[in-house]
Structure 1
Amino acid sequence: MKTTTLLSTLAALLAVPLGTSAQTIVNITPSADTNVRQYADDAATNYGTQNLSIRGAGSSYNRYSYLQFDLSSFTDSDPIISATLTLTLSSAIDSGRTESTLYLYGLSYASDAETKANVPQLQATAEDDVVNPPTLLTNENAPWKAVRNTLFSPPTNATSLGSVTIPAPGTTGSAAGKPIELLSTSALVSFLETARLNPSLSIVTLVFLETSTQSKEINFYSSEHSTESRRPTLTITTAPIPEPATVAALASTAVLVLAAALRRRR
């Protein structure tokens, strides 16, 4: 066997993606979602039954959106190795807007009990007690209130998880029904892994927003949409940790191939 062939074999062995065949991909939609609005007439209103909406402004028209996902089904799963958040535009991007950036954050809590104590219920449900209705999330009681962009300051328990460009009106990807994808980042994977590894923490709270000044809001379909594919979707990929024996076998084979190549070069 030629040296170049041996080296090619070595490279192929080192490039083997361990555990790829056992990867599992799961799409989950929010257990609840809403948006909060800074404007005085809207600040005490819950928008859990409406589309998600964000806007950055130097005045009092800022909007942030909240998502909650239930990760309880991942407690016994393999480690999370990738996660992508997909939002779908519910209307074309308004002509008064310019290109901007959507920022995603995660709010960290030690347990579901702490989450519920700090984050009011995002939206009403059919199971709510009519006599003693729950407190619903509004900008007035939000753990992270929408504020004018000149005062933007994430709370101490907010972790930056990534960002994605929101296209300018009339450009590719700006029409109604088009997806806005926030691709996987190490920060997002780490944030979700923390919840997966903590048996008492299954509810993760995400906040997305923009900080540039815009004359109009941008709207996305919410979890109430009748078509599941248009709802906000978190695509999570899990994969098993390679068995030590598998890693050792590949490493040993790679060493033997390299040794053979070096001997032939002498």
Structure 2
Amino acid sequence: TRRSMFRLSLSRTVTRPSFVEMAPFLYQESFGGAQIRGNEDLQNGYNYNVDLKYEFFAEKNTDMFSVTAYFKYLENPIERTQRLSGGATEHSFQNADNGLAAGVEVEFRKEIVKDLAVSANASYMYTNVILPEGGSYTNQQRSLQGASPYLANADISYTPSFKDGSSLSLALLYNLQGPRIHAVGIMGLGDVKQMPLHTLDFAATYNFNRHFSVKMAFNNMLNSTVRFRQDIPNAGRTVEVERWRVGAGFEAGISYSF
């Protein structure tokens, strides 16, 4: 109908190794304490995707609601791994045999009063990876590296327009990222997992006219801590191996469009 619709999409995409993932030398990340060595033998990953989406739109305002179900089959997915090298841990990259991801996402937008709206989306995802037989992976059954089982975003925005042709946009944005495997453990090392992360940002833009505008943003207002924990299989426990604060940030800018 005019107010609701179903969308079905089928696609095949390619994930190519980046330069960092293939570079066969050791380097230090600009954040955290991990040293990384690329793997020049990495192969391209191929992704087969199926998405089914239902959308409903309000007739008199910008309200909307949608539900999406998706399934992905991953061939040769590239994963970040961790191993011991010379008494220290070293990160690298390997291809798993294949994996899958399936989940559902819900999204809505609601106008509270004129120019003031709230919106949010949340997703749940199940992932599983199939590993090479006789390989060196510590855990033979696990989720896909880098995939969080749940994600959530919410924002409230105020976007008035004025009679002189100017306009204002204020937005407060919240993000929740669930726990995920940061580096896969091999050769007896446990998986390194990044703990849940909460962030809160604020953005403001004032458009004087069609050409001139000023912008301001406060990033990571919670000054959240990024934490990593690792399983110790022989001891049967989990320990924190690394943490850091990204830091809160402020930025401002002026732009002119011709």
TM-score (norm 2): 0.23
Larger % of helix: which?
1
TM-score normalized with structure 1 length: 0.22
Larger RCO of the pair (alpha carbons < 8 Å, separation 6+): 1
Question: Whose strand fraction is larger, Structure 1's or Structure 2's?
Answer: 2
